[in-house]
Each structure stands twice: as structure tokens, then as C-alpha cells.
Amino acid sequence: MAGKIKRSLFAIFLNTTPSTETATYALMGQGITSQKVDYNPETSDETYVSEDSGTTDVESYKPTIATQQTAIQGDAVFDFVDDLRQRRAVLNDARSDVVMVNLYGTATGGAYPAEKNTVSIQIDDFGGDGGKSVEINYTVNMVGDPVKGTFNPSTKTFTAGGGE
């Protein structure tokens, strides 16, 4: 049956232990009221001499996930990102991976279609207005091409291949 898809059925999980052998994925959700993937397409435009109308081709993408999060101590995602901020992590120290999961897709054995991507996390700002909760704004920059597969939200495991 066709129908609208609720935002809660598109989940993004961040690996909060990127320097360990086994990934620990935490749902990016607590303190985050809005989040979207900006694909930032790189295009090229040409108008051929034999034609009056131009041609636009998509050459590549540079996806990012701009995130504004209320600071909630004890939330694994906030604690991980706040540690990056405090250390002013750069290059490989600012890298991790995310898994974007289509919970609206067809599950097989509890696993949903997903894609995993290496990311570099940049801290944009931290603080906020007086009398309000602290906020951290950061950008999750995708690095390279994604790996398609499946993700089981119960076990928080990604398996390459087999995704839709």
C-alpha cells in the first residue's frame, strides 16, 4: 500500500567507538528535532553547438548531515561528539562511520535496507542562549562511496551486501 513515510522510519546510527574493532552504533535522535541528508550534487553544464538548450549532468555528490543537538549528557551520540569538540579532533581523529537505515523497507530476519558510510565530523559551534539548554551544532561529512547492505536495529549490526 502506498503512503507517506514518517521521519522516524529513516534512522541514522553513528559509530561511537570508531577506534575499536567492533562498532558500537547509537541512534542519532535524542536532542535532535530536525535532521536531513544534504546530497550537495556537483553538476556540469554544457550547451552543445548543435543545440539550443543546455545539458546538465550530475558529476558527483558530497553528502553532509547538518545536525543541531541539545546537549544531553549520557546520550552516546552527544558524549561522542562532545569529546571530539573538547579534543578539537581533526583528520583521522574526527572520523567514524554512520549507517542510514530505511526502516520503511522490507525487513529480512530483522534487518532493513541500509547504507554505511565513513564520515568526518566537524564541530560548527557550541553554546546557546541564556536560560536555555546548551546546543552543539556539527556537520557529518560523508567520505567516499557508501557500502550497501542491511542493518538490524535490535542487534545494531551492519552486514554488507543484500540491501535493496
Per-residue confidence at 163, pLDDT binned at 50, 70, 90? very low
**Alpha carbons within 13 A on the beta-carbon side of 54:** 6
pTM: 0.93
Q: What does DSSP assign to residue 161? A: S
Specify whether the CB–CB gap between 35 and 28 falls below 8 A: yes
State pLDDT tens for residues 23-46.
999 999 999 999 999 999 999 999
Provide the grid cell at 126. 557550541
Q: What is the mean pLDDT of the chain?
A: 96
**For position 25, what pLDDT does the model report?**
98
**What sign does the CA torsion over 160, 21, 76, 67 have?**
negative
Provide the grid cell at 87. 579534543
